[in-house]
Amino acid sequence: MKRVLTQKFFNRPTLQVAKGLLGKSLIRRARGRTIAVLISEVEAYDGPHDKASHAHRGRTPRNEVVFGEAGRWYVYFTYGMHWMLNIVTGPKGYPAAILIRCAIHEGKPIFGPARLTKYLKIDKRLNGKSANKNSGLWIEDRGVKIKPSQVRRGKRIGVDYAGEWSKKLYNFSLE
């Protein structure tokens, strides 16, 4: 059974969505090819109070998408060389998103969000687009069941600058 996740799935509390994304399939259709990868690690960035979030210091042209509707892609450039893929969550006006960090393709892990976007040919053209087939990038539930014992929670990676927020267990990954 393949079911495309709709805005309703993403328009829920960010941590709930983050856990729910593990085991879902991220589908990329581009240049005549379709690739499906299994989402194996994500990180939640939950609202303006989250000091690790791009929205913490307010609305800017760069982060405008995270203040919008759930189920849209937030794609940004970092370190002058890497694209990062996030999905917006929660109600419109509440800036929250989930970074997709790692995935598995044909049994092989794709470690790291930069490698993942490179592998799937993701760039700024997807920023602000809806996560659906029309955009060429969407998420499906293909019936993979994830038990609570298969989910590991940990600290987010690379956010030491965020003080107490760097210690939040907002990283979710498959064991």
State pLDDT tens for residues 22-75: 999 999 999 899 999 999 999 999 999 999 999 988 899 989 999 999 999 999
Residue 81: the pLDDT is: 87
Distance CA 130, CA 142 (A): 20
State pLDDT tens for residues 79-88.
888 999 999 9
Q: pTM to 2 decimals? A: 0.95
Residue 89: the pLDDT is: 98
Query: How many domains does the structure of the chain reveal?
Result: 1
Single out the residue of 97, 117, 113, 116 nearest to residue 170, CA to CA.
97
CATH code: domain of residue 84: 3.10.300.10
Residue 26: domain span:
3-174
